[in-house]
Amino acid sequence: MHTSMPVVLSLALCLGAAQAIAEPVKLDALLSTTDSISLNFKDDTRRFLTLLQREGTATGAGPFEGAKVVEYGMHDVTGGEAAEASGFLEATTAGGDVAYFRWSLRAFFVGEPDGKTRLVNAGHWELAGGTGQFAALRGVGTMAIEFPSKTERRYILEGELAPAP
């Protein structure tokens, strides 16, 4: 199959331009539970399902600095083994622009040399919609949740935002 040089050059320039305008982004927010409802399994699995609403504020630099962040999440946990979580984060900037992130995460409990157990997790996110500066953007990236206390969760999302085609 023969492709003309102008077509290849145009495609390369378009792809290069798209990559050049993608901006790295980070949302780092400490959230506390404001509402929850749970289903606790009455068997020996120690499994529970929790629907959560958490709220807090983002820190750092960039478009989400100081943004109010709300989680609407579902967490399915099998005690001592694994967990799956997913939901949405709503980030509202000081200027009133809103970004909606759809996220999904997988977690596993692992043993430590001292015999204690800790949770390791990793996930991904996508920009599901937005208003103002986020209305015409698309984005995707990775995420993790840290556990600074029994009542707080630190959501860390990193990736790229770029104009939709």
Give the pLDDT confidence score for residue 79 in this predicted structure. Answer: 84
Residue 70 tokens, joined: 């709300």
Main-chain phi, psi angles of 11, to 5 degrees: -65, -45
Q: Is residue 154 within 8 Å of 145, Cβ to Cβ?
A: yes
Q: What is the pLDDT along the chain (165 residues), one digit of tens a residue?
A: 554 544 433 434 344 444 548 899 999 999 999 999 999 999 999 999 999 999 999 998 899 999 999 999 999 999 889 999 999 999 999 999 999 999 999 999 999 999 998 889 999 999 999 999 999 999 999 999 999 999 999 999 999 999 999
Give the pLDDT confidence score for residue 61 in this predicted structure. Answer: 84
Bridge-based pairing of strands 152-163 and 23-40 is antiparallel
Q: What angle do CA 82, 50, 105 make, to 5 degrees?
A: 45
What domains, with CATH codes, occur in the chain?
24-163 (2.40.350.10)
One-letter amino acid for residue 27 of the chain? L
| 15-21 own/partner pairs: CB under 8 Å, 24+ apart | 18/162, 18/165, 21/162, 21/163
Can you tell me whether residue 123 is helix, strand or coil? strand
